């Protein structure tokens, strides 16, 4: 009986460790694998290719082309999403929320992502104020 419990415990521990590793790895992929440069050049969300990648600020970015990767590497801060890639609306409210890559806006040459299209629409109604609040909240969250 004790042997069965030990085997079960080890199995559950292995599953939990694997799940945590998967979650950690997934969290390090920026913009859910979408190409940050494409937002600016194509003005749409384009899925990146895992074989064309670069690491910046502890996150892995995927690109649709080698040219996009080269553009990113020349000036990463020009392409990285605001608020660490979290939802701009959420950040304006003081919390980190996930994003939907297609729910984006480019404002003053900066990429803002949102939870979904409906939230982006709400965010855009008070865009200037929400960006100001998001900037303050993001700076506070990094302290």
Calpha distance 77→45 (Å, rounded): 18
Instruction: Tell me what pLDDT residue 1 has.
Output: 54
Grade residue 138 by pLDDT with cuts at 50, 70 and 90.
very high
DSSP 14-61: HHHHHHHHHHHHHHTBGGGGB-HHHHHHTSS--B-EEEEEEEETTEEE
Instruction: Tell me what pLDDT residue 142 has.
Output: 86
Calpha distance 57→77 (Å, rounded): 10
Alpha-carbon distances of 67 from 26, 38, 70, 72, 94, rounded to whole Å: 25, 10, 5, 9, 36
pLDDT per residue over 56-72, tens digit each?
989 999 999 999 999 99
Instruction: Tell me what pLDDT residue 129 has.
Output: 98
Q: Locate the domains of the chain by residue range.
A: 29-79, 81-143
């Amino acid at each position: 009986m004790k042997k069965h419990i030990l085997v079960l415990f080890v199995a559950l521990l292995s599953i939990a460790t694997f799940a945590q590793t998967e979650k950690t790895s997934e969290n390090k992929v920026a913009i859910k694998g979408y190409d940050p440069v494409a937002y600016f050049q194509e003005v749409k969300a384009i899925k990146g290719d895992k074989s064309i990648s670069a690491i910046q600020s502890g996150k892995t970015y995927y690109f649709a082309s080698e040219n996009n990767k080269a553009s990113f590497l020349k000036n990463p801060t020009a392409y990285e999403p605001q608020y660490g890639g979290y939802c701009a609306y959420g950040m304006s409210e003081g919390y980190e929320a996930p994003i939907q890559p297609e729910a984006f806006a480019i404002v003053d040459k900066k990429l803002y992502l949102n939870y979904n299209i409906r939230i982006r629409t709400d965010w855009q109604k008070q865009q200037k104020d929400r960006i100001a609040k998001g900037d303050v909240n993001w700076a506070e969250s990094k302290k």
